Amino acid sequence: MAGNLQNPFMYASEGDYTRNTRGIFYGGYTGSVTAVTNLVSVNGVVSADVTGVGSARRDFPGITYGFDRGIFRGGSGPRNSPIYGHTNLVSANGVVSADVGAVGTAKASQHGMPWGEDKAIFRGGFTGSGYTSSSNLVSNNGVIASDVTGVGTATGGAGGVGYDGDKGIGFGGIGTGSAVNKSNLVSNNGVVAADVANSGATARYSVASSTYGGNLGLFAYGSGPVSTKNLVSVNGVIGDDVSGVGTAVSGGRGCGFDENRGVIAFGSGYTNISHIVSVNGVISADITGVGTARTESGATSFSQS
């Protein structure tokens, strides 16, 4: 854990809202970077390791696009260097592509959010020289756009999730000096709104996120580490802290499965435990882990079959 504690800003997260049935975790940090993947079944079961395709790296987000596919972007090497900007697409069958060349500024510790039903956005992150609030839109064909000037506080390590069927929200992160509990809404046109304060939510970074219930989301766990949970309403309002369940971790990741449930897995201490998120947003107790124990993976859902 020395690497994680020495580099507290290097955590990204994501969560989607499209009603996909399966998920995938990719890459992460075990003391060294890895490119292994673990598929998530329609029953929320995390599979054994599959040999990875593309660059081994840590601290990068994934998100859905085009309804039933996913995309991973950016990340870093083992000690936060180099910083990457390339992407890897995930097919509707859960196959991860080889690296696709970078567009826009290379960043680690971004967060991903869906918008407009079939598109996505990556926001914030760490460039190697500092934090940014810039963003990059993703088309429904998985094409990354050039940098868009940022709105709101420049942070890394926020969580991102979809809500209300066609919008997104980012929460938390760390900027210059300390963790924050602000959030930023993303409209169904992909426009990022100004900061919103969330006084009832614990300020933290390295936040995991997941969808549930078809059009709702949640943020859970994070720096401390803590096991705290905050629900996101259909109006994009972040609820006050709810006492957590299971082992407190930072650097965990989450994605949707079975159309209206989610799974959160992996995290600090190099763990492979997982938690199921019910259709009502209830997080399960620890589930014995499968796959390489690690932190700072990417995660996304895929497939509508």
> Which tokens belong to 134?
């810039």
Give CA separation, 60 vs 11, 139, 300, in Å: 7, 19, 11
Supply the range of the domain harboring residue 262: 2-302
- For the stretch 16-27, pLDDT in tens is 655 799 999 999
User: Strand pairing partners for 73?
Assistant: 87
**Which residue is associated with the tokens 């802290």?**
241
- For the stretch 275-289, pLDDT in tens is 999 999 999 999 998
Based on the structure, what is the number of domains in the chain?
1
Give the CATH number, domain containing residue 135: 2.120.10.80
pLDDT score of 2: 33
Cis amide prior to 82 (ω within 30 degrees): yes
Asked if pLDDT for residue 73 goes beyond 60, the answer is yes
Per DSSP, the three-state class of 68 is coil
Asked if pLDDT for residue 4 goes beyond 90, the answer is no
The closest alpha carbon to 25, from 8, 47, 4, 3, belongs to 47
Distance CA 54, CA 165 (A): 31
What pTM does this model have?
Answer: 0.94
Question: What percentage of the chain has pLDDT greater than the value 70?
Answer: 94
Q: How far from chain centre, in Å, is Cα 18? A: 15
Q: How far from chain centre, in Å, is Cα 29? A: 15
pLDDT score of 176: 83
**Which residue is associated with the tokens 């990354």?**
144
